[in-house]
Amino acid sequence: MELKRVVVTGLGVLSPLGNDAPTTWAAAKEGKSGAGPITHFDASLFKTQFACEVKGFDGSKHFDRKRLRTLDLYSQYALYAAKEAVEDSGILNAPNLNRDRVGVIISAGIGGLHTFEEEAGYYAKNEDKGPKYNPFFIPKMIADIASGHVSMDYEFHGPNYGIVSACASSNNAIIDAFNYIRLGKADAFVTGGAEAAIYPAGVGGFNAMHAISLRNEDPAGASRPFSGSRDGFVMGEGSAILILEELEHAKARGAKIYAEVVGGGMSADAYHITATHPDGLGAKLAMKAALDDAGMTPADIDYINCHGTSTPVGDVSEVKAIVDLFGEDAYRLNLSSTKSMTGHLLGATGAIEAFFSIMAVKEDIVPPTINHEEGDEDPNIDYRLNFTFNKAQNRPVRAALSNAFGFGGHNATLIVKKYEE
């Protein structure tokens, strides 16, 4: 069976760096940080009091009051980014569009945490009156509902679900969508991720496990992947959505093409509930599987958007995996962690990093890893590698590989390359 080719024809982003795809990409190229004091709730008693929040977003300007009652913030983010992506692609204007062959896979690692926290808090304060819950509680909270809302908005009747694999969730979503299309089971997909977990349970939970940075005096400088003084990740939020489309379907309607998706690989660390394998075993397996799937070798890759969370153990294990798999090729690559700017979007992180990888391929610009200071090196990291510290770099990017690793040992790697006839 001959596999179909799959291209990216639309992009939509709502992020800590901007409320659309062009603004987010421009800020990333400039090396801006999206971090600042938490505004979603009073964090004054929390160990961590900052995060990378979406700014200036007001759901009431995009959804009527009746619909807002049914939407957790993470679903609002997904719908907002999906609208930009669908409009950017122009797919609704395709002649004879078969909506039965357009699917939606939008993932979240946590989903409606705010809704869950609100409902649990209400019951705790009123348990003597007996249980009383909002009828929208469950359908607002569940991690697949964003996909459902998007499919209903556009009457897309193809495969529709969400994947939960912690911080690998939206890479898994994109890989699934890619496979459906190349196997000929769909013409197009709306795919990516959304997350909105910057609330007491999210921040408090990650604080309790010592996972997030405590650098309250310097939020903008707190996410510092691959630097010696890193002390944990910075929470982020938002959504990134891609329109994937079968090549001939896209060409037939004259669609613009950003890049081609060519491979996806997945693996398990089978090691620990939260920590990555210290030697990067699972990361290496996922990257190798993606290269094999794409029919590529390490020599074909020019840029790796690293998972690079700014955690002491995770950054080291990922670097070990890259050096082990890529060998001497590792030293001609550009590596970067855009989490240094956006923070960690949890279940949406794979999608926004796929967006950055696509734009790197399209424009031959590698976004930077910010916040590295001279003399702030980790003896366990090989600094002969080019981490694209502090400043974007112009270079030919034929293909980019994007990593996403999640609690539970879930690993998912995506590869995109320049589209060529």
Instruction: Single out the catalytic residue among 40, 249, 277, 307.
Output: 307
- H helices of 165-220, in order, are 169-182, 200-208
Catalytic residue check, 114: no
Four-residue CA torsion sign, 238, 74, 189, 351: positive
Whether 167 is catalytic: yes
Residue in 278, 283, 277, 246 with CA at minimum distance from that of residue 265: 283
Query: Which two three-digit tokens encode residue 78?
Result: 């997904």
CA distance 235 to 94: 39
Tracing tokens 């078969």 back to the chain, one arrives at 98
Cα 294 from Cα 270, distance rounded (Å): 25
Give the whole-angstrom CA distance, residue 246 versus residue 94: 13
Report the distance separating Cα 284 and Cα 99, nearest Å: 38
Contacts of 67 (CB under 8 A, 6+ apart): none
Catalytic residue among 40, 277, 344, 410: 344
* DSSP tag of 255: -
3-state secondary structure of 184: coil
344 belongs to the catalytic site: yes
Q: 167, 249, 372, 410: which is the annotated catalytic residue?
A: 167
Residues acting as catalytic residues: 167, 307, 344
